[in-house]
Amino acid sequence: MTGSNEKPAHGWHREAGLAQRSSKRKHSSSNRAEDQRQRLLQRLGKGAVSTIEARRDLDIMMPAARVHELRHKHGYRIETVWIEQATDGGMVHRVALYVLRHSEQHREAA
């Protein structure tokens, strides 16, 4: 950048992006793993959620890690189905679709 009013070379204007994204948030802004797991679990209670949706809508950058913790530390039965889904930018990716199975109630890890 050469002047204070120019956009960064990569084309992303940080302040505009933060303002735009903050208006879309409908959840806690905490990045703590515990809070991310809670947001993911609440969303899974309403239906399946993809990697792209978890990142975009729930602000969970590593949803696979949160799913792993919910499965192995907290006993939730979450199935992974592989799907193809487009990002907001239009690129199609093979991503995980996570589905909470209610047939087995979760158990807390000892």
pTM over 0.75: no
Range of the domain at 83: 31-100
**Is 21 inside a domain boundary?**
no
- Looking at the structure of the chain, the number of domains it has is 1
**Is 13 inside a domain boundary?**
no
**Is 65 inside a domain boundary?**
yes
**Is 39 inside a domain boundary?**
yes
| Calculated CA dihedral for residues 77, 72, 25, 96, nearest 10 degrees | -60
Candidates 51, 62, 60, 58; CA nearest to 86 is 51
Side chain identity at 87, as an amino acid letter?
T
Mean pLDDT of 47-64: 98
**Is 61 inside a domain boundary?**
yes
**Is 110 inside a domain boundary?**
no
Side chain identity at 69, as an amino acid letter?
E
What's the pLDDT at 70? 98
What's the pLDDT at 103? 57
DSSP state of 90: S
**Is 52 inside a domain boundary?**
yes
pLDDT digits (tens, 9 = 90+) for 13-47: 444 444 444 445 455 579 999 999 999 999 999 99
Mean pLDDT of 87-97: 97
> Are 51 and 95 a contacting pair, CB within 8 Å?
yes
